[in-house]
Amino acid sequence: MLSRYLTVKEYGEHEIIIQKSRFIAQIKRVETEADAQDFIQEIKKKHWNATHNCSAYLIGEHDQIQKANDDGEPSGTAGVPILEVLKKRNLKDTVVVVTRYFGGIKLGAGGLIRAYGKATSEGLDAIGIVERKLTQVVHVKIDYTWLGKIEKELRASEHKIKEIHYLDIVEIETYVDESLVQSFKDLMIELTNGQCTLQQGETVYLEDYIS
């Protein structure tokens, strides 16, 4: 599993007009090629009367799966420009379909490349990008006398409190970046003079909105 990576925030769409042609970028996060293909077919059905529904996707930790489709536009003028934008943005697990309704003015090969690239780029800006970070949930069990000190320290740190359980003793579940687990444990031991119990829990991705 990657320690961190960028992907799109959620499904969204964004439309621009270039030389009277409508370009609608529809973007979604996907985890499998089957999901990407399903999304492409869904958009094609939705915009069945469009001139073109061009697409591209990048899937996998190391971009193992990448596909681009011009859907009738001149070869290399639509799908590849869409894919190149995804690569330049370092995005993963993302599928884009740019629907074009022809407005009567031909753009030429260069114009098409710029148009599909711009539609994708502006679509990504409109929808938003997130960074997914691999984190470990660490359970910190302490006596109530340490609660104020530990909670204050955690809320001022880069770590995020998941939940606090107020039982016979206090249990604080905290999201800790995988690379910082040992230093986090050392800090808890130091702050409580060793009067804490630490246990590692599940590994999950946390998302931070970056643009």
Rounded Cα distance between 92 and 86, Å, is: 8
pLDDT in 10s for each residue of the chain, 211 residues: 899 999 999 999 999 999 999 999 999 999 999 999 999 999 999 999 999 999 999 999 999 999 999 999 999 999 999 999 999 999 999 999 999 999 999 999 999 999 999 999 999 999 999 999 999 999 999 999 999 999 999 999 999 999 999 999 999 999 999 999 999 999 999 999 999 999 999 999 999 888 7
Helices marked H in the chain:
33-46, 79-88, 108-127, 147-155, 181-191
Using DSSP's 3-state secondary structure scheme, residue 76 falls into coil
Q: CB neighbours of 45 closer than 8 A, spacing ≥ 6?
A: none
Domains of the chain, first to last: 4-127 (3.30.230.30), 132-209 (3.30.70.240)
Q: Residue 180: exposed, middle, or buried by beta-carbon count in 10 A (0-12, 13-18, 19+)?
A: middle
Query: Considering the entire predicted model, what is its pTM?
Result: 0.86
